[in-house]
Amino acid sequence: MDDITFAVLGTGGIGRRALEVSQHKDHLTPVAACDRHGTAIDFDGLDVDELLAATEGNIDNEVATDGGERTEGSRSSSELRSDGGSAATAADSDGGVKQHGEDRGVVASEQARPSEDPIQDVIDHGDGIDAVLLALPNYEHDFIPRTADRFVEGGYSGVMIDVLKRSRVIDMLDERSETFEDNGITFICGAGATPGLLTGAAALAAQSFVEVESVDIWWGVGLKSGYEDNRGTVREDIAHLPEYDIETARALSDEAIEDIIDDHDGVIEFEDMEHADDVLLERAGVCDAEDVEVGGILDVRSDEKPTTTTVRVTGRTFDGETATNTFQLGDATSMEANVNGPALGYLKAGVRRNRAGEYGVFGPAELMPGF
Amino acid sequence: MDDITFAVLGTGGIGRRALEVSQHKDHLTPVAACDRHGTAIDFDGLDVDELLAATEGNIDNEVATDGGERTEGSRSSSELRSDGGSAATAADSDGGVKQHGEDRGVVASEQARPSEDPIQDVIDHGDGIDAVLLALPNYEHDFIPRTADRFVEGGYSGVMIDVLKRSRVIDMLDERSETFEDNGITFICGAGATPGLLTGAAALAAQSFVEVESVDIWWGVGLKSGYEDNRGTVREDIAHLPEYDIETARALSDEAIEDIIDDHDGVIEFEDMEHADDVLLERAGVCDAEDVEVGGILDVRSDEKPTTTTVRVTGRTFDGETATNTFQLGDATSMEANVNGPALGYLKAGVRRNRAGEYGVFGPAELMPGF
């Protein structure tokens, strides 16, 4: 495979880890990274070590408090879209961006410069970017589709890839499928640990069967040392509890989140989650969405996984047997490892599809052998 | 995905099962099938039920006895190549083809006609065939490469796919890579249970890691009721015992094979097999070939698997942990289910690649997300 250049939108937990993991990958060169306040672009390849060191602790948690209390001077995520609003430079905000450098967010890196419209900076350099990883997990649910619209308007053609879990975002992307096809965009959605890695495993495990009866996805995440870096993900998980949805979870204050965690003694169990795994497996023709169940256990007070992440695919073979194929992740693999490795793996697969002229919207399971 | 037409070369155990499994698959139409004696071609789709009923017990075991005792009048596999040699019709041979119909081999089907050169028949109809499954497990090791040469000479462009396990065949195909690229052929090699399904699972399981330390593939096959249909596969497995290689195993008489099986009380354990899994994972960039170990247990006297087929991928995560991801096949999945489902799955993936203009030689793991 030829060399691949990629950009990361968002330098929070996922964006930073994706940059770090990419250093271990052949043929993968990060050339752009941005957050709400600035952009780093270097087509010779970003100096990832410098960028990560300068932005250590750089977690933009602000949008998570949208609708809850807002820090005076903090700004909404709409700034990243820069609809002609006022400048959001490193100097004028003391919002939710936390980092250890002298400056705020990515501009703490000497490779970055402040920008009024960081995403437009990336779009303007789109000709040299094979793939764009949207590492923006916690914005409003139409943020990624509308970001894709901006790339279309800016004439971008290439791969766009997200690690979201939400079925409704996929529906919104699907509405844009024809536009993507017309513009040479291959959009890979849900390409992290789940749905990404685990639906991919389910699609492969299904190959023994002529009919899949059920897919049972059960995950365990221990997040003690990574809790601060992954508050957005925890909030998103809380949105899956029966009492909440994505809007009400987004409206929770940090204190309310902590209260929920305390109520569960730090260990929250999820059943029957509205995860995109089901629609992505149905898209790939593996089974009906209703035959997919997703649940798991999150422990924010231990790094040990509270349960082993397991995918069970039960089906009928052509010769009439019923059996279950199983895929398990080692307990020592962190959530970050299981999100970012697959994200970059699917990014590579997406670039291959894109270069071969396959455009539109794809779930990870659709990149597996056909069922 | 659009509809796919495919041909099966060989109607022994694998070819017949592939036809049967394809009936459960959407968008997959078998349009041609042949054995040494005849060809069935129907672009409206073969009547698989009729073909399977007419050829029940149709196992061409003859080549397995090449070099051993030969039945008078039986013919070597070179006839399938038909280098201008004499006719091999249904009437003139009473060789190793066993079947319950009145006629011999595929010509027992009312859809088939005798042919002096069945493979050429398929090549001559190549324009309407998207993919050719080479279900010829037990011929001499250069038979599939040379069959591919014939398709090239005949102007075929499309997918060719085999379910072989042998590294040396892949090397021979690799030598033809440029020719395939020039002629629009996408050759997928080793696409059965192993290497196919299991190396695919290993490539996916590797996604959690930035470095793979070892891949351990361990299979169990219980073959009592399928023993008669799979003598070729058993012979091929015996070639992996330390005392044998592919030539000496091919030279064994049926009685000698039975003696070996008796010596092992029907249960043969294999360690450190020279399977193509290693080179296919190295091709895909997952690990070095020497880090892959393949072994397993074959029981020809029980349908129960003597051990659970398991793939263990041990690696190091970007954040410094070492862990093992695991893929297990349910014990009730037969070897046939695990060969033919993946073979057709990879066939679909191959057609997609081919239609997108990707030509050359690919292993199953190369069709997975990039590592």
Q: What does the domain layout of chain A look like in residue ranges? A: 4-192+337-367, 194-331
Cβ neighbours of B214 in A, within 8 Å: none
Question: Which member of B62, B79, B236, B336 is catalytic?
Answer: B236
What are the mean pLDDT values of chain B's consecutive 10-residue runs (371 residues total)?
89 91 94 94 97 76 34 35 33 40 75 95 97 82 92 98 87 96 97 95 96 97 83 84 86 92 94 89 95 95 95 96 97 94 96 94 94 88
Instruction: Indicate the range of A51-65, A98-112, A217-231, A284-298 predicted with least confidence.
Output: A51-65
Chain B residue numbers touching A285 (CB-CB < 8 A): 26
pLDDT at B275: 85
Judge whether B305 counts as a catalytic residue.
no
- On the question of pLDDT at A352 being above 50, the answer is yes
Write out residues 206-265 of A within 8 Å (CB-CB) of B. Answer: 207-211
Chain A neighbours among B 196-215 (CB < 8 Å)? Answer: 197, 200-201, 204-205, 207-211
Q: How confident is the model at residue A299 (pLDDT cuts 50, 70, 90)?
A: very high
- Average pLDDT over every residue of A289-296: 96
pLDDT at residue A24 in the model: 93
pLDDT recorded at residue B88: 33
Within 8 A by CB and 6+ apart from B262, the residues are: none
pLDDT at B84: 33
pLDDT digits (tens, 9 = 90+) for A138-169: 567 789 999 999 999 999 999 999 998 878 88
Q: Which candidate in B188, B287, B333 is best for mutational testing of the A interface (most A CBs within 10 A)?
A: B333
Res A238 pLDDT > 70:
yes
Note whether A333 contacts B357, CB cutoff 8 Å: no
- Residue A12 C-alpha, separation from nearest chain B C-alpha, in angstroms: 16
Residues of B in contact with A318 (CB under 8 A): 17, 20-21, 24, 336-337, 340-341
Task: Say whether A317 and B331 touch across the interface (CB within 8 A).
Answer: no
**Higher-confidence position of A232 and B366:** B366
Given the candidates 3.40.50.11540, 3.90.470.20, 3.40.50.720, 3.40.430.10, the CATH classification of the domain at A4-192+337-367 is 3.40.50.720
CATH topology for B4-193+337-367 is: Rossmann fold (3.40.50)
Average pLDDT, chain A: 86
Beta-carbon separation of A337 and B353 below 8 A:
no
Structure tokens at A112: 């970055």
Positive or negative CA dihedral for B175, B178, B180, B181? positive
Per mean pLDDT, which range of A79-88, A341-350, B96-105, B361-370 is the poorest? Answer: A79-88
Inspect the interface and report whether the beta carbons of A332 and B340 lie closer than 8 Å. Answer: no
What are the chain B neighbours of A333 within 8 Å (beta carbons)? 208-209, 317, 321, 323, 325
The answer to whether the Cβ–Cβ distance between B336 and A318 falls below 8 Å is yes
Size of interface A-B (CB pairs under 8 A): 186
Contact (CB<8Å) B200/A201: no
The alpha carbon of residue A327 is apart from the nearest alpha carbon of chain B, in Å, by 4
Residue A181 has pLDDT above 50, yes or no: yes
A25 pLDDT higher than 80: yes
Cβ separation B330–A208 shorter than 8 A: yes
Out of A321, A333, A347, whose CB is closest to B325?
A333
Interface predicted TM-score (ipTM) over 0.90: no
State the nearest Cα–Cα gap between B79 and chain A, in angstroms. 32
Q: Would you tell me which residues 264-303 of chain A have a C-beta closer than 8 angstroms to some C-beta of chain B?
A: 285
- Nearest by CB: A329 against B21, B325, B329: B325
Tell me, yes or no, if A319 comes closer than 8 A to chain B by beta carbon. yes
SS3 string, chain A, reads CCCEEEEEECCCHHHHHHHHHHCCCCCEEEEEEECCCEEEECCCCCCHHHHHHHCCCCEECCHHHCCCCCCCCCCCCHHHHCCCCCCCCCCCCCCCEECCCCCCHHHHCCCEEECCCHHHHHHHCHHHCCEEEECCCCCCCCHHHHHHHHHHHCCCCEEEEECCCCHHHHHHHHCCHHHHHHHCEEEECCCCHHHHHHHHHHHHHHHHCCEEEEEEEEEEEECCCCCHHHHHHHHHHHCCCCCCCHHHHHHCCHHHHHHHHHHCCCEEEECCCCCCHHHHHHHCCCCCHHHEEEEEEEECCCCCCCCCCEEEEEEECCCCCEEEEEEECCCCCCHHHHHHHHHHHHHHHHHHHHHCCCCEEECHHHHCCCC
**Residues from chain A contacting residue B220 (CB–CB below 8 Å):** none
pLDDT of residue B86: 33
How confident is the model over A26-49, as a mean pLDDT?
Answer: 95
On the question of pLDDT at A282 being above 80, the answer is: yes
The verdict on B127 touching A (C-beta cutoff 8 Å) is no
B312 and A CB contact within 8 Å: no
Structure confidence at residue B59 (pLDDT): 57
Q: Do A333 and B208 touch (CB under 8 A)?
A: yes
Nearest CA in chain B to A308: B325
Question: Do the Cβ atoms of A357 and B356 come within 8 Å?
Answer: yes
The reported pLDDT for the residue numbered B99 is 47
Q: Which of residues 12-41 of A touch B (CB under 8 A)?
A: 17, 20-21, 24-26
Give the DSSP letter string of B114-180.
E-S-HHHHHHHTGGG-SEEEE--TTS-TTHHHHHHHHHHHTT--EEEEE----HHHHHHHHTTHHHH
